[in-house]
Amino acid sequence: MSASTLPTVVASVAQGTGSGFDPVLPGLILLLPLLGFALNGALALVSGSRSATALREGREEAGHDSGGRPLTHTLPTWIGPGVMLAAFLLTLVNFVGMLGVELVEPVIRSYWTWMATGALSIEAAIQLDQLSLIMMMVITGVGFLIHVFSVGYMKEDPGYPRYFAYLNLFVFFMLILVMGANFPMMFVGWEGVGLCSYLLIGFWFRDREKADAGKKAFIVNRVGDFGLLVAMFILFAVFGTLDYQGIFEAAPDTLVYGGATVTAVTLFLLLGAAGKSAQVPLYVWLPDAMAGPTPVSALIHAATMVTAGVYLVARSSVLFAMAPVGAAAVATVGAVTALFAATIALKQYDIKKVLAYSTVSQLGFMFMGVGVGAYAAGVFHLMTHAFFKALLFLGAGAVIHSMHHALHATHKDWDAQDMRNMGGLRRFMPATWITMWVATLAIAGIWPFAGFFSKDEIIWYVGTSAPASVLYTVLWGMAIATALLTAFYMTRMMVMTFHGPNRTGADEAKHLHEAPPNMTIPLGILAVLSVFGGWINVPGSVRESFFGGFGFLPMSDWLDRWLEPLTATAYQIRVDQLGAYASTSPVGGGHVLWGAIATGLALAVVIIGARAVASREIRPAVESPEPTGFGKVLHDKWYVDELYDRIIVRPIQALSRACWRWIDQVIIDGTVNAVGSVARGFGWFGSLVQTGQMNTYAFILTLGALVILGVLIL
């Protein structure tokens, strides 16, 4: 069906093309990953059944047997990254095309009427505008790099084609999520990425714990989905449409500022966003999601899918601007999450867990940004975070890959992800070491790395909201505290992993090696982006100071202006209602002073932190004592998982069991028995002492019948 719709793509240009921007085959951007999924999926099925046949015949699994890699494993190497590269280039063409024109209205391409009922008509339509293109660039660009990295990382996995099939499918759904022109389309992508995430977290399903992590992610996300669906319901009831265009254009006139409707909608949207983006209280699934292969963590659980919540809020900026309570809730959830996750990250020893909590924390920053109305800043941080966090995860992947090989070579039964078992790796993997330091400096917010511009812009905006209420002052304090903690725990991770003496063991150290080029090259590219990616959104006052190189460095406030068509309405509402932002910074000075303070503090934390961690003696995990005191509380993640288990999981299990055991067997049987006793008391039915199942059914049936008769006749 996809082939037949393609010709109509060009024919059925719907509306909004007055500005002169003519997108180049936008549908193909979507179809390419889908094609990759189809091809890789077919190969995966072939390979899967082959290994099943091999199993049946008592041989080892296919893929290992004959030395040479079978075709089912060599083809995905080209198909997987290939379709991503093509999609990226196509996105780039469109991006460049849009750069050249002042696009005011989004370009909507409508393919067919997806669901049409009396009042509701939803098109299968995609929307190209500034926001979706930024997201598409990140998804296809970073996605392509991660696909390339995966070729090296997953090389020896028997599920190689299946892995690329899932990954391509994920990209397809992620693109639907950001390109959809209405809420239902976004929901398709939303559910789809959830499914792929679930499949990829449980990719190594032979490990029971890892499969459980996939299930956990799935269930927690359902809570979020419910919020999103209810929000869509209310929106449809109010606006009679679910198209972005229709809703956001009508919203300022239809909805009452701060009214109950818009507040409810935004709170339900927040529930959905919090589920997907792992915010308090629904963040618990993300750290467990690290059970999946590391490139998956980089792509799905750092760079793209988890930012869908931020995208959702930014996309619905008009609604959030009209609901001060909803917006404040977003900012508060973000701040709490940011600080909370950062404290947990302080005490983790698993390198991926540190990065996972760091991701949760950074997502909190993005929520803070979009919560205080700094939509462009939120998206900006989303983008820079995609660069440096993908880099950190891939770097960690390279480290784990190397550690795994080393431990495997000598059959040492140690955890390849525990930082206490690492140390001094910089000698063995210099490229990984350097690129990861770049990312660390970026996330710590040190000039001129990308994170400095994006994170400090958010903190700035939170601070300028402070005069509005005490709440924002508190949030601002939390944001600053989180930023400092971030600098510390990232430094700790780097020092424990790459510096000091090597703790892997002498024999094992011989097997430590740098990753192959197809893994280090993506690291290098991402490192470059982590340095310069922040330069695209620098406020004018900063540009003319030291931090902007006095105008000599190629910096601009391009992103703010680029996103203006989308944020203007929301911004205008905030200006009208709140007087918007003060022009001075919260500490009295201007941007420049603020920048100096921020980068100075961060740098100080990095240096002091590095010394503090390096001066302590670290022993391999097996020899280390259990953490005690408050450190134990942090190490055990504030016991949130245990709490959820007690107050939610077990009661629900109990309820379900109660429904069939207790209600059925006690209440119903009991009632029947009681009625039986009464009847016996009357001496009518001498035989009605015991009940058999079938009579119970007939009894309930009759009881129901009596109720219905009673209701209707009386």
Partner 1 sequence: MLAEALVLSAILFVIGTLGVLVRRNAIIMFLCIELQLNAVNLSFVALARYLGIEGQLYVFFVMTVAAAEAAVGLAIIISIFRHYESVNVENFNLLKW
Partner 2 sequence: MTLDFASNADYLWALLPEIVLSAWAMVVLLAGVRRPHETPASPEVMAWLSLAGIAIAAGVNGWLYGVTSTDPTAMITVDGFRLFANWIFLLGAALTILIAPPYVARQRLQAGEFYTLILLGTVGMMFMGGTQNLILLFLALETMSVAAYVLTAYNRRDRRSAEGGLKYFLLGSFSSGFLLYGIALVWGATGSVHLPEIGATVEAGAGFTGLLLAGMALLLIGFAFKVAAVPFHMWTPDVYEGAPSPSTAFMAAAVKAASFIAFVRVFMEAFPALYESWYPIMWWLAALTMVVANVVALSQTNVKRMLAYSSVAHGGYLLVALAAANQMAMAGLLFYLLVYTIMNVGAFGVLMVVSNYGEDRLQVEDYAGFGWTRPLLAVLFTIFLLSLAGFPGTGGFMAKIYLLQGAVDSHLWTLAVLLVLTTVVSYYYYLRVAWFMWMRPAPEGQTPGSYWAPLPLSLALIAGAGIILYLGIFPSGLLDGAMAGAEGLGLVRDTLLGLNP
Query: Which residues make Cβ contacts (< 8 Å) with residue 67, sequence separation at least 6?
Result: none
Contact between 470 and partner 2 by CB under 8 A: the answer reads no
CA 50 to chain centre: 35
Which residues neighbour 575 within 8 Å (Cβ) at sequence distance 6 or greater? none
Site mask, partner 1, residues 533-572, x = CB under 8 A?
Answer: ----------------------------------------
- Considering only 80, 141, 202, 534, the residue that binds partner 2 (CB under 8 A) is 202
Look at residue 375 and give the partner it binds from partner 2, partner 1, none, a contact being a CB closer than 5 to 8 Å depending on partner kind: none
Provide the residue type at 442 as one letter. Answer: A
**355 and 499 in contact (C-beta within 8 Å)?**
no
Closest CA to 494 of 438, 414, 428, 448: 438
650 touching partner 2, by CB under 8 A: no
Neighbours of 666 (CB within 10 A): 11
**685, interface contact from partner 1, partner 2, none, CB < 5-8 Å by kind:** partner 1
Q: Please confirm whether the linkage preceding 448 is cis (ω < 30° from 0).
A: yes
Taking a C-beta distance cutoff of 8 angstroms, is the pair 285, 228 a contact? no
Residue 49 binds partner 1, judged by CB under 8 A: no
Q: Are 508 and 412 in contact (CB under 8 A)?
A: yes
Assess 700 for contact with partner 2 (CB under 8 A): yes
List 11, 470, 647, 694, residue binding partner 1 (CB under 8 A): 694
Say which entry of partner 2, partner 1, none residue 692 contacts (CB below 5 to 8 A, set by partner kind).
partner 1
The smaller minimum CB distance to partner 1, of residues 257 and 685, is found at 685
Nearer Cβ to partner 1, position 633 or 668?
668
- Contact flag: residue 699 with partner 1 (CB under 8 A): yes
The reply to whether 656 sits near partner 1 by the rule CB under 8 A is: no
Binding range to partner 2, per CB under 8 A, among 130-138, 337-345, 576-584, 695-703: 695-703
Stretch that binds partner 1, among 35-43, 56-64, 337-345, 693-701 (CB under 8 A): 693-701
The CB-of-271 to partner 1 minimum distance in angstroms stands at: 34
Beta-sheet pairing, 107-116 with 13-15: antiparallel
Residue of 71, 99, 115, 678 interacting with partner 2 (CB under 8 A): 115
* Closest approach of partner 1 to the CB of residue 713, in Å: 12
Of 664, 666, 674, 677, the one binding partner 1 (CB under 8 A) is: 664
Closest distance of CB 676 from partner 2, Å = 18
CB of 643 to partner 2, least distance (A): 21
By CB under 8 A, the residues from 173 to 202 that bind partner 1 are none
Separation CA 402–CA 514 (nearest Å)? 7
Binding residue for partner 2 (CB under 8 A) from 25, 45, 250, 592?
45
Min dist. Cβ of residue 650 to partner 1 (A): 21
Are 169 and 175 in contact by the 8 Å Cβ rule? The answer is no
- Of 89, 105, 155, 226, the one binding partner 2 (CB under 8 A) is 226
- Shortest Å distance, C-beta 670 to partner 1: 15
Binding status of residue 199 toward partner 2 by CB under 8 A: yes
Q: How far is CA 220 from the centre of its chain?
A: 13
DSSP 651-690: HHHHHHHIIIIIIIIIIIHHHHHHHHHHHHHHTS-TTTTS
Tell me the C-alpha distance between 367 and 363, whole Å: 6
SS3 of the chain: helix, strand, coil, percent, to 5: 75, 5, 20
The residue within the footprint of partner 2, chosen from 237, 470, 506, 647 (CB under 8 A), is 237
**Partner whose binding site includes residue 687, from partner 2, partner 1, none (CB under 5 to 8 Å by kind):** partner 1
Q: Which partner, partner 1, partner 2, none, binds residue 582 by CB below 5 to 8 Å per kind?
A: none
Residue 692 beta carbon to partner 1: minimum distance, rounded to whole angstroms: 3
Burial class (CB in 10 A: 0-12, 13-18, 19+), 617: exposed
Strands (E), 271-420: none
When the beta carbons of 223 and 592 are compared against partner 2, the nearer one is 223
Distance of CA 256 to the CA centre of its chain: 32
Is residue 205 within the footprint of partner 2 (CB under 8 A)?
yes
Specify the residue, 193 or 672, whose C-beta has the smaller distance to partner 1: 672
According to CB under 8 A, which one of 8, 469, 624, 656 is a site residue for partner 2? 656
Q: In what order do the strands lie in the sheet with 13-15?
A: 13-15, 107-116, 121-128
Is 695 a binding residue for partner 1 by CB under 8 A? The answer is yes
**Is residue 505 close enough to count as binding partner 2 by CB under 8 A?**
no
What are the CA-CA distances from residue 498 to residues 128, 360, 398, 431, 658 (Å)?
43, 24, 12, 11, 53
Cα dihedral 563/569/571/572 (nearest 10): 140
Instruction: Pick between residue 216 and residue 385 the one whose CB is nearest to partner 2.
Output: 216
Cα dihedral 41, 45, 47, 53 in deg (nearest 10): 180
Assess whether the previous peptide bond of 281 is cis (omega < 30° from 0): yes
**Alpha-carbon radius of gyration of the chain:** 28
Residue 572 CA, chain-centre distance (Å), reads: 29
- Using DSSP's 3-state secondary structure scheme, residue 505 falls into coil
User: Which partner in partner 2, partner 1, none is near 688 (CB below 5 to 8 A by kind)?
Assistant: partner 1
**In sequence order, what DSSP letters do the residues of 34-89 get, joined into one string?**
HHHHHHHHHHHHHHHHHHHHHHHTTPPPTTTTTSSPPHHHHHHHHHHHHHHHHHHH
Shortest approach of partner 1 to residue 663 CB, angstroms? 10
Under the binding rule (CB under 8 A), the answer on residue 395 touching partner 2 is no
Among 233, 558, 662, 685, binds partner 1 (CB under 8 A): 685
Site size with partner 2, rule: CB under 8 A: 65
**Of the residues 625, 693, 710, 712, which one makes contact with partner 1 according to CB under 8 A:** 693
Indicate whether 15 belongs to the interface with partner 1 (CB under 8 A).
Answer: no
Q: Which does 118 bind (CB under 5 to 8 A by kind): partner 2, partner 1, none?
A: partner 2
Residue 342 backbone phi and psi in degrees, to 5: -65, -40
Q: Give the integer Cα–Cα distance in Å for 690 and 673.
A: 7
Site residues, partner 1 (CB under 8 A): 660-661, 664-665, 679, 685, 687-688, 690-695, 698-699, 702
Q: Which residues bind partner 2 (CB under 8 A)?
A: 1, 44-45, 48-49, 51-53, 55-56, 112-120, 124, 184, 187-188, 191-192, 195, 199, 202, 205-206, 211, 214-215, 218-219, 222, 225-226, 229-230, 233, 236-237, 652-653, 655-657, 659-660, 693-694, 696-698, 700-701, 703-705, 708-709, 711-713
